[in-house]
Amino acid sequence: MLLPCAADKPDPAIPAASCGDEGLTINMAKFYITTPIYYVNARPHLGHAYTSVLADALARYHRLKGDEVFFLTGTDEHGQKVERSAKAAAQSPQRFTDELSQAFRNLTPALNLTNDDFIRTTEDRHKLGARELWRRAKKSGDIFKKKYAGLYCVGHESFISEKDLMDGQCPEHLTAPEKMSAENYFFALSKYTPLIKEYYARHKNFVIPEAKRNEMQAILNDGLEDISISRETSQTSWGVPVPDDDTQVMYVWFDALTNYLTALGFPDESAPLFKKFWPTDVHLVGKEINRFHSLLWPAMLISAGLTLPEHILVHGWITVDGQKMSKTIGNVVDPFELVKNYGADTVRYFFCRELVIQNDGDFSYVKIEERYRADLSHELGNLVQRTLTMVEKYANGKTPPPSHGEAAPYLESYQNAMTIFALDQALAKVWEFLASLDKAIEEMKPWVTVKKDPAAVNALLYRLLESLRLAAIMIAPVMPETAQKIWTALGLSTLRPESAILKWGGLKEGTPIKKGVPLFPALNK
Ligand SMILES: [Zn+2]
């Protein structure tokens, strides 16, 4: 699957740019995926859970394929907004961020995430790397000091231009900006416009999906502007100190983005994790922070002499019952509550199946319960139970001799969809596969056929069992617990990369099945 990039001569101006062809290529030996680090001025909500589940499903998929995977998440803890929220809660910023960071960390067990690390930007290992990146950018001549005055939105943690205001307020934060003048450090982002344009030209799938790439391309065509990357400590002191200047701390984004490096051990470029996993294969981000990852981040990396990421994968937002989540409307959904009610696998399935990565999606209790009843309980759960019951009845509870199946087209479509991160399409293929099995049962009616042609029934039963084995592998990245339950029911041990090969014929004749309780019992309502 690794496509060569022979046609692509690396540009010496872009350090160690990787394979630049048209396809979605990933270095198959390793896979480094990140969520954004979550900003800790409020508790985790549905959107955070969604991002983390998408990343986890992709991480699990690559692990099952046998790739070496590093999956990173964490919390972004600096900035004036956190400082003010802490003050409002009558806590020190450190204590405030300790508590909220832990709430985000709790997403891991709740959602059954497999992140390999959890980084906090208040950790020393992070600050060390963030400061080193600053020094490198300075050495490249990209950091300079500038005086300016304007309107500052605390919500944005940046200046906002008069023309973007609505009735004197920031339209996003609905607060009036504050008049401010400052002398800050700037990063020479404008200088990188041509290099980044070129990187986009050579990496057609750097930003996915295309619509989001086009948005970035439009900004690039207008030309990037230099950005302020520090704040005076008189304004906010809750940040990473600027090297060689105690009067300033880093702008929260300039500090936060470097987490993807510092978690791997940067600035020590000989650190084992850094050597193995850098550059990132997929930075998964919400659309509101796309430009930081797709325009600023590459410039910072080029400035510091580092390799650029392969893909920025941009997902849409989740609304609840068609409305933006907000405390005022009172429709904020607590992911922990959701998992308690429906189980982690169901929540994960909903995120990956009902919501399409590149679009905005909608959550409602009606929709998640419909998915539970129709897809999980009826189509998957019943098929498993029905198959096992027939194997007990007609084959002494043991796997019959191998027979043919029609899995190949489904397996192929599934893999193609996963390669382009289309989890919803991949799952849709699995459910088509399940439907084809249901149809085969209805057509043969084993309870009738068994009397005159037991061999035909045995052949069907093998086909069903083997197909369920393959389906379990395919759903494992999204529903790991369910996949293992199916695997166990088939008389297999632990679902591991060595055994998770998507190829017909893995089940051995005579393997005793272990029929358990139904996978998705009726919801008690
Ligand atoms: Zn704002």
Q: Tell me, in angstroms, the distance from the centre of ligand 1 to residue 170's CA.
A: 5
Question: Given pLDDT bands bounded at 50, 70 and 90, which one contains residue 76?
Answer: very high
Unique residue bearing structure tokens 């508590």: 99
Q: Tell me, in angstroms, the distance from the centre of ligand 1 to residue 161's CA.
A: 10
Q: What is the mean pLDDT of residues 281-307?
A: 97
In whole angstroms, what is the distance from residue 306 CA to residue 201 CA? 19
Choose among 110, 116, 524: nearest CA to 348.
110
Contacts of 332 (CB under 8 A, 6+ apart): 45, 46, 320, 325, 326
Q: Tell me, in angstroms, the distance from the centre of ligand 1 to residue 152's CA.
A: 8
Report the SS3 class of residue 287. helix
Report the SS3 class of residue 198. helix
Q: Tell me, in angstroms, the distance from the centre of ligand 1 to residue 154's CA.
A: 7
Report the SS3 class of residue 341. helix
Q: Tell me, in angstroms, the distance from the centre of ligand 1 to residue 276's CA.
A: 39
Q: What is the pLDDT of residue 4?
A: 30
Question: Given pLDDT bands bounded at 50, 70 and 90, which one contains residue 28?
Answer: low
pLDDT, one tens digit per residue, over 161-203 is 888 899 999 998 899 999 988 899 999 999 999 999 999 999 9
Q: Tell me, in angstroms, the distance from the centre of ligand 1 to residue 446's CA.
A: 65
Q: Tell me, in angstroms, the distance from the centre of ligand 1 to residue 151's CA.
A: 10
Q: What is the pLDDT of residue 468?
A: 98
Task: Tell me the CATH number at 517.
Answer: 1.10.730.10
* Phi (first) and psi of residue 147, to 5 degrees: -95, 140
- Between 490 and 13, name the one with better pLDDT: 490
Q: What is the mean pLDDT of residues 358-370?
A: 95
Q: What domain range is 472 assigned to?
A: 369-525
For the cut 90, the answer to whether the pLDDT of residue 332 exceeds it is no
Report the SS3 class of residue 422. coil
Question: Given pLDDT bands bounded at 50, 70 and 90, which one contains residue 20?
Answer: very low
Is 198 within the bounds of a domain?
A: no
Q: Tell me, in angstroms, the distance from the centre of ligand 1 to residue 159's CA.
A: 9
Q: What is the mean pLDDT of residues 372-388?
A: 97
Tokens representing residue 87 in the block = 């003050």
Is 421 within the bounds of a domain?
A: yes
pLDDT, one tens digit per residue, over 413-465 is 999 999 999 999 999 999 999 999 999 999 999 999 999 999 999 999 999 99
Is 318 within the bounds of a domain?
A: no
Is 430 within the bounds of a domain?
A: yes
Q: Tell me, in angstroms, the distance from the centre of ligand 1 to residue 176's CA.
A: 9
Q: Tell me, in angstroms, the distance from the centre of ligand 1 to residue 84's CA.
A: 15
Q: What is the pLDDT of residue 525?
A: 62
Is 33 within the bounds of a domain?
A: no
For the cut 60, the answer to whether the pLDDT of residue 147 exceeds it is yes
Q: What is the pLDDT of residue 1?
A: 29
Is 75 within the bounds of a domain?
A: no
Counting Cβ atoms within 10 Å, is residue 2 exposed (0-12), middle (13-18) or buried (19+)?
exposed
Least confident of 151-165, 372-386, 409-423: 151-165
In whole angstroms, what is the distance from residue 471 CA to residue 495 CA? 12
Q: Tell me, in angstroms, the distance from the centre of ligand 1 to residue 242's CA.
A: 24
In whole angstroms, what is the distance from residue 493 CA to residue 230 CA? 54
In whole angstroms, what is the distance from residue 508 CA to residue 236 CA? 65
Is 115 within the bounds of a domain?
A: no
Q: Tell me, in angstroms, the distance from the centre of ligand 1 to residue 172's CA.
A: 5
- Between 219 and 525, name the one with better pLDDT: 219
Least confident of 239-243, 328-332, 484-488: 328-332
Q: Tell me, in angstroms, the distance from the centre of ligand 1 to residue 164's CA.
A: 10
Choose among 520, 380, 354: nearest CA to 438.
380
Q: Tell me, in angstroms, the distance from the centre of ligand 1 to residue 156's CA.
A: 4
Q: What is the pLDDT of residue 154?
A: 85
In whole angstroms, what is the distance from residue 81 CA to residue 41 CA? 7
Is 406 within the bounds of a domain?
A: yes
CA 345 to chain centre: 16
Q: Tell me, in angstroms, the distance from the centre of ligand 1 to residue 119's CA.
A: 26
Count of residues making up the chain: 525
Q: Tell me how many domains the chain contains.
A: 1
In whole angstroms, what is the distance from residue 205 CA to residue 35 CA? 18
The kind and range of the H/E element at 118 are strand 117-120
Q: Tell me, in angstroms, the distance from the centre of ligand 1 to residue 171's CA.
A: 7
Choose among 283, 287, 291: nearest CA to 317.
287
